[in-house]
Chains A and B, each alone.
Chain A
Amino acid sequence: MMKIIQNIGIALFIVALVIFAILPFSGSFKLDKTSFDTLIENHGIKSEIFKKNLEANIVGKEFAGYQAIAPIVQESINKANSVHVKNKEWSKKIYTSSDDLATAIRKKSGYGFIPENKGLMWFLTFGLGIIGALLFIVPQVVTLGPKGIKNDHIYHQSSTNKGWIAWLVFFFLVSFYLILYFKSEYAINWTYLVDPISKSLSGNPAGQWFVYGFMYCVVMTVMAIRMYIKYRHNKYQVLRTTSVLFFQIVFAFLIPEIMVRLQLSYSKGYDFKNAFPLDYDFFFSWNLKELLSSGGLGLFILVWGIVLTLVIVPVMVYFFGKRWYCSWVCGCGGLAETLGDPYRQHSSKSLFSWKVERWLIHSVLLFALVMTGFTLYGFFAETSTVFGIKVQSIMTTYSFLIGAVFAGVIGTGFYPIFGNRVWCRFGCPLAAYLGFVQRFKSRFRITTNGGQCISCGNCSTYCEQGIDVRAYAQKGENIVRSSCVGCGVCSAVCPRGVLKLENGPIAGRINPTEVLLGNDVNLMKFVNKK
């Protein structure tokens, strides 16, 4: 019976997924003259050459969903800019990217079934997807049997053992991120589905980032239900899941949208929990300018952002470890702990990976700090070039390499293959910063329970951060590692009650042991030898 319900769920989910996957390449687009003129005006484009050229190529013409518009726009940009550069008409040169323009053109020009049936289309994608997923997940209350650790068959199923389903998910996730970040014109049909929701929240039609934000919340909610069922015996997991879900929905999604709706002085929304340097563009000059010209609210956000990073974050890490942020508050962590939970076992535990991790994550932190130094210097010295390097080009490189490719495409797209914390472990500059505090000045540790470890390896296998937990536990040592995000799963999966996450006195936190508890070898002999 349960199996039938679950199979219906899978079928519905696949239908929703297929429709969602077809959408970017379907529908029809035709831009009229009025819309074209507003669009050109809105983007502040002053080049007549561009306008004429693009108008001839686009306006009144029909485009199918799979036909790319960006290359046509790019062609017009190239033509126009070559003339303007030659004539040194700098004010007419076009800096807007062809992708952004193509996306805006599509948004204004879509017609036909999809934009005319937003509600229905939402139901066929998001709606069916949610219902299907829940039909698959909720019966697990029964199918998983009595409450407890339920990891049966994780390495037997192709979805969780890097088999063909995992690769399919990988392909889907990576494609989704590539469209989102680099080919956003194809995301327009998705934006239509959530237009009504966006309008009801911020008053504006949806862009691709609204699609992403909404989907993020939906996926987290559905997968949080899975967590609640899987870990219903474990209050730490239940509370932690509730916490990340709350911060994602309220802080990352609703508050920024509502800020836009209220048309506050600071015109963009702000995620109050997103701390620099994870929020890497906080100190970019355009943001600083906006903050400083937005009156009291702007100033408050500026001060809050600085205090959050310099005071709140490290003080909280001192008392509770970096887990308070990484696995109780953070959005990236939130997705990793919900959508990513089925893949946590894929993080590499080799010593080699640990070395790579330390080089990589600290390089990214350094990169973020140097970049911020440059932007701040550029801001205060009112220059766009520092040491002969264009500040803009550093920011663009970081946004592309770290913000999009690392955090998005690799960080989430590679969940099914590299595990769910690739970004958090190898890339997040905030995690690197919190890690320093956690390693050197914190009350947090994972206590090893005397000599009870049997080296079974469940803890290491299920550590999403690739920490070889067993290596410490079997020696009777506490685990004090900068990368630990305190998800608590090592403690949960331990069959012998060996591990406990706790905040306690600093003395004895790191406890190298010669001989484990239980063996009454004369310890003073060892102590005296040293």
Chain B
Amino acid sequence: MEHIVIIGNGISGVTAARHIRKKSNKKITIVSAETDYFFSRTALMYVFMGHMTFEHTQPYEKWFWKKNRIDLVNGKVETVDTAKKKIDLANGDPIKYDKLIIATGSKPNKFGWPGQDLLGVQGLYSKQDLDQLEANAPDNKTCKRAVIVGGGLIGIEMAEMLRSRKIPVTFLVRETSFWNGVLPAGESALINEHILDHHIDLRLATNLVEILADENGRAKAVTTDKGDTIECSVVGLTAGVSPNIDFLKNSGIEIGRGVKVNRYLETNIDDIFAIGDCAEQHESIGQRRPIEAVWYTGRMMGETLAQTICGTKTEYKPGHWFNSAKFLDIEYQTYGWVFSERYKKDNEAHFHWRDDKENICITVAFDKETKQFLGINTFGIRMRHEIFDRWLSEKRSVSEVMEYLKDANFDPEFYTQYEDKIISKYNLDYGTTIRPKKKSWKRIFKNTKA
């Protein structure tokens, strides 16, 4: 029986294992040094905030692994011996494999800041990071202030976590407006305001210079390039993540920033594959980045690779880009491509609408010339994934998207609808006379697989 060994029990590795089991009888082993069982990394914040226990973040009960004959090994992989087709563990016997899947995810970036390895300085990625934060910041007496460095998704989550314990938070963001390398200006401005509403001390266009230590080697303050010294007990480093692949350095597996893979998720060595955050495409797929540290892409790579391993060689072909996040109380969804001013191409025009009272806004990207709809960002309004996926495939025009926008609304029943306001702003901006069509079940469920 062929033995499939998967390094990493995150969403990519576990999805691959599940789908291999669905399609085959192969022996499957998952090795992880992080936790005994798969958990949802994205939910760690809710454990800290007391919304859930850690057990709640585990999507499968313990019997699941036994029933599906997926062997779990808690161990740290030291080296991969590609010649003998085995992996060596720091603690425990080597494991022989027939096919090896590398799904080791990411680790938080550290950019060589002085003091970055002091006590009280940490990232937020793993279960260990959560435990560490629990020790570093149990309450606002132990942790008098925290400084978070890096204005991305993990940074704002960490700020929210610490604020839930009434810990004062200073948030250092390199950019002139929150996440404006990704978000268009209007949206980024909305989030800036919302961050301040949550009493987070947001410092834009500010960089970390140094983390200062006290006599016990603990962080006691940071200095910034604005000349400020900010006293604090905890420093959160959340300036992005990079592939967690140090153990592969001398293995002969080709690595760049991540493990280099082709469209079939194969590495340069036969029977070794890489998926998820740690995989780096030789060439970008469409407008995607070569490394995508996103939950959904990890899952999709796992689904795809399982096909290949079970005999149906399948190319990794992610469909239309989509993503979502939540910034404190504001939900964000995106479908297709909406680029920030910094990365926007010449042909990309934006229609932006923001409600005058609520924290709600949308940005629709379209081609200036052809008027083709390119993508949508929504804040505070939920949208239907299937509808936008279909509209993107059908290359709808922006005016069609506006006309049928009500079909795409996914907000809970009885919620205030904003489509009329949005469309009248659109008409005003572009001198059009679009009248919104009423929501139609028939259109919504057209093409759905029954």
Any A CB within 8 A of the CB of B65 = no
Any B CB within 8 A of the CB of A56 = no
Instruction: Please determine whether B449 and A517 come into contact, CB atoms closer than 8 angstroms.
Output: no
Instruction: Please determine whether B389 and A450 come into contact, CB atoms closer than 8 angstroms.
Output: yes
Set B40, B50, B61, B329: member contacting A151, Cβ < 8 A = B50
Query: 1/0 contact trace for B399-422 toward A, CB 8 Å?
Result: 000000000001111111000000
Set B49, B52, B198, B449: member contacting A461, Cβ < 8 A = B52
Measured between beta carbons, the chain A residues less than 8 angstroms from B326 are 495-496
How long is the Cα–Cα vector from A460 to B58 in the complex, in angstroms? 11
Query: 1/0 contact trace for A448-467 toward B, CB 8 Å?
Result: 01111011111011000000
Chain A nearest CB from B433 CB (Å) reads: 31
Known: A155-B53, A521-B303, A521-B304. Is A455-B40 also a contact (CB below 8 A)?
yes
Measured between beta carbons, the chain A residues less than 8 angstroms from B194 are 146
Which B-chain residue is minimally distant from A151 (CB atoms)?
Answer: B51
Any A CB within 8 A of the CB of B448 = yes
Instruction: Please determine whether B61 and A152 come into contact, CB atoms closer than 8 angstroms.
Output: no
Most chain-B Cβ atoms within 10 A of its Cβ — which of A351, A452, A488? Answer: A452
Most chain-A Cβ atoms within 10 A of its Cβ — which of B295, B317, B385, B386? Answer: B385
Measured between beta carbons, the chain B residues less than 8 angstroms from A296 are none
Any A CB within 8 A of the CB of B188 = no
Set B49, B300, B412: member contacting A153, Cβ < 8 A = B49
Any A CB within 8 A of the CB of B142 = no
Any A CB within 8 A of the CB of B331 = yes
How long is the Cα–Cα vector from A239 to B11 in the complex, in angstroms? 38
Instruction: Please determine whether A519 and B303 come into contact, CB atoms closer than 8 angstroms.
Output: yes
Most chain-A Cβ atoms within 10 A of its Cβ — which of B413, B414, B442? Answer: B413
Instruction: Please determine whether A152 and B448 come into contact, CB atoms closer than 8 angstroms.
Output: no
Any A CB within 8 A of the CB of B384 = yes
Within A102-141, the residues touching B (CB, 8 Å) are none
Any B CB within 8 A of the CB of A515 = yes
Instruction: Please determine whether A511 and B319 come into contact, CB atoms closer than 8 angstroms.
Output: no
Known: A153-B49, A491-B412, A518-B318. Is A504-B445 also a contact (CB below 8 A)?
yes
Chain B nearest CB from A133 CB (Å) reads: 22
How long is the Cα–Cα vector from A500 to B382 in the complex, in angstroms? 10
Measured between beta carbons, the chain B residues less than 8 angstroms from A500 are 382, 410-413
Set A152, A449, A451: member contacting B382, Cβ < 8 A = A449
Within A426-467, the residues touching B (CB, 8 Å) are 447, 449-452, 454-458, 460-461
Query: 1/0 contact trace for B228-250 toward A, CB 8 Å?
Result: 00000000000000000000000
Measured between beta carbons, the chain B residues less than 8 angstroms from A508 are 445, 448-450
Known: A519-B317, A525-B312. Is A497-B410 also a contact (CB below 8 A)?
yes
Measured between beta carbons, the chain A residues less than 8 angstroms from B303 are 515-516, 519, 521
How long is the Cα–Cα vector from A233 to B415 in the complex, in angstroms? 9
Which A-chain residue is minimally distant from B383 (CB atoms)?
Answer: A497
How long is the Cα–Cα vector from A235 to B56 in the complex, in angstroms? 27
Any A CB within 8 A of the CB of B59 = yes
Instruction: Please determine whether A456 and B42 come into contact, CB atoms closer than 8 angstroms.
Output: yes
Any B CB within 8 A of the CB of A86 = no
Instruction: Please determine whether B56 and A519 come into contact, CB atoms closer than 8 angstroms.
Output: no
Set A351, A449, A505: member contacting B441, Cβ < 8 A = A505
What bracket does the count of chain A residues touching chain B fall in? 35 or more
Within A504-530, the residues touching B (CB, 8 Å) are 504-505, 507-508, 511, 513, 515-521, 523, 525
Set A145, A452, A458, A523: member contacting B324, Cβ < 8 A = A452
Known: A153-B50, A154-B51, A454-B40. Is A236-B413 also a contact (CB below 8 A)?
yes
Instruction: Please determine whether B386 and A149 come into contact, CB atoms closer than 8 angstroms.
Output: no
How long is the Cα–Cα vector from A493 to B43 in the complex, in angstroms? 12
Query: 1/0 contact trace for B419-450 toward A, CB 8 Å?
Result: 00000000000000000000001101100111
How long is the Cα–Cα vector from A521 to B307 in the complex, in angstroms? 9
Any A CB within 8 A of the CB of B125 = no
How long is the Cα–Cα vector from A502 to B324 in the complex, in angstroms? 22
Instruction: Please determine whether A146 and B42 come into contact, CB atoms closer than 8 angstroms.
Output: no
Known: A508-B448, A516-B299. Is A497-B331 also a contact (CB below 8 A)?
yes
Any A CB within 8 A of the CB of B132 = no
Measured between beta carbons, the chain A residues less than 8 angstroms from B51 are 151-152, 154-155, 458, 461, 493
How long is the Cα–Cα vector from A495 to B331 in the complex, in angstroms? 7
Within A343-399, the residues touching B (CB, 8 Å) are 345, 350-351
Any B CB within 8 A of the CB of A215 = no
Instruction: Please determine whether A518 and B412 come into contact, CB atoms closer than 8 angstroms.
Output: no
How long is the Cα–Cα vector from A470 to B42 in the complex, in angstroms? 14
Any A CB within 8 A of the CB of B314 = yes
Instruction: Please determine whether A497 and B382 come into contact, CB atoms closer than 8 angstroms.
Output: yes
How long is the Cα–Cα vector from A34 to B49 in the complex, in angstroms? 65
Most chain-B Cβ atoms within 10 A of its Cβ — which of A493, A505, A519? Answer: A519
Any A CB within 8 A of the CB of B394 = no
Which A-chain residue is minimally distant from B58 (CB atoms)?
Answer: A457
Within B319-374, the residues touching A (CB, 8 Å) are 319-320, 322, 324-326, 328-329, 331, 333
Instruction: Please determine whether B412 and A234 come into contact, CB atoms closer than 8 angstroms.
Output: yes
Chain A nearest CB from B313 CB (Å) reads: 12
Measured between beta carbons, the chain B residues less than 8 angstroms from A518 are 296, 300, 318-320, 322, 385, 389
Chain A nearest CB from B419 CB (Å) reads: 16
How long is the Cα–Cα vector from A491 to B43 in the complex, in angstroms? 16
Chain A nearest CB from B124 CB (Å) reads: 15
Measured between beta carbons, the chain A residues less than 8 angstroms from B320 are 518
How long is the Cα–Cα vector from A497 to B57 in the complex, in angstroms? 18
Query: 1/0 contact trace for A228-266 toward B, CB 8 Å?
Result: 000001111001000000000000000000000000000
Any B CB within 8 A of the CB of A88 = no
Instruction: Please determine whether B385 and A517 come into contact, CB atoms closer than 8 angstroms.
Output: yes
Chain A nearest CB from B373 CB (Å) reads: 17
How long is the Cα–Cα vector from A493 to B331 in the complex, in angstroms? 11
Measured between beta carbons, the chain A residues less than 8 angstroms from B411 are 500
Known: A501-B413, A505-B445. Is A521-B314 also a contact (CB below 8 A)?
yes
Measured between beta carbons, the chain A residues less than 8 angstroms from B442 are 505
Any A CB within 8 A of the CB of B93 = no
Measured between beta carbons, the chain A residues less than 8 angstroms from B412 are 234-236, 488, 491-492, 500-501
Which B-chain residue is minimally distant from A152 (CB atoms)?
Answer: B164
Instruction: Please determine whether B59 and A457 come into contact, CB atoms closer than 8 angstroms.
Output: yes
Any A CB within 8 A of the CB of B215 = no
Chain A nearest CB from B247 CB (Å) reads: 26
Any B CB within 8 A of the CB of A18 = no
How long is the Cα–Cα vector from A516 to B298 in the complex, in angstroms? 12
Within B212-265, the residues touching A (CB, 8 Å) are none
How long is the Cα–Cα vector from A508 to B320 in the complex, in angstroms? 22
Instruction: Please determine whether B324 and A497 come into contact, CB atoms closer than 8 angstroms.
Output: yes
Known: A500-B410, A502-B413. Is A450-B46 also a contact (CB below 8 A)?
no
Measured between beta carbons, the chain A residues less than 8 angstroms from B386 are 449-450, 517
Most chain-A Cβ atoms within 10 A of its Cβ — which of B58, B164, B416? Answer: B164
Measured between beta carbons, the chain A residues less than 8 angstroms from B410 are 447, 449, 497, 500
Instruction: Please determine whether A450 and B49 come into contact, CB atoms closer than 8 angstroms.
Output: no
How long is the Cα–Cα vector from A149 to B50 in the complex, in angstroms? 13
Set A455, A491, A519: member contacting B318, Cβ < 8 A = A519
Q: A154-B50, A449-B385, A449-B410 are in contact. List 12 more A-B contacts (CB 8 A).
A: A449-B386, A451-B299, A451-B322, A454-B324, A455-B11, A461-B51, A496-B325, A500-B413, A504-B444, A508-B450, A518-B300, A519-B317
8 A-B contacts, Cβ less than 8 Å apart? Answer: A148-B329, A235-B415, A351-B61, A449-B385, A450-B384, A474-B59, A497-B324, A521-B304
Chain B positions near chain A (C-beta within 8 angstroms): 11, 40, 42-43, 46, 49-53, 56-59, 61, 63, 164, 194, 197-198, 295-296, 299-300, 303-304, 307, 312, 314, 317-320, 322, 324-326, 328-329, 331, 333, 382-386, 389, 410-416, 441-442, 444-445, 448-450
In the A-B complex, the 10 residue pairs with the smallest Cβ-Cβ separation, listed nearest first, are: A450-B385, A148-B329, A497-B382, A456-B43, A519-B300, A156-B50, A153-B50, A235-B414, A495-B326, A520-B319
Chain A positions near chain B (C-beta within 8 angstroms): 145-149, 151-157, 233-236, 239, 345, 350-351, 447, 449-452, 454-458, 460-461, 470-471, 474, 488, 491-493, 495-497, 500-502, 504-505, 507-508, 511, 513, 515-521, 523, 525
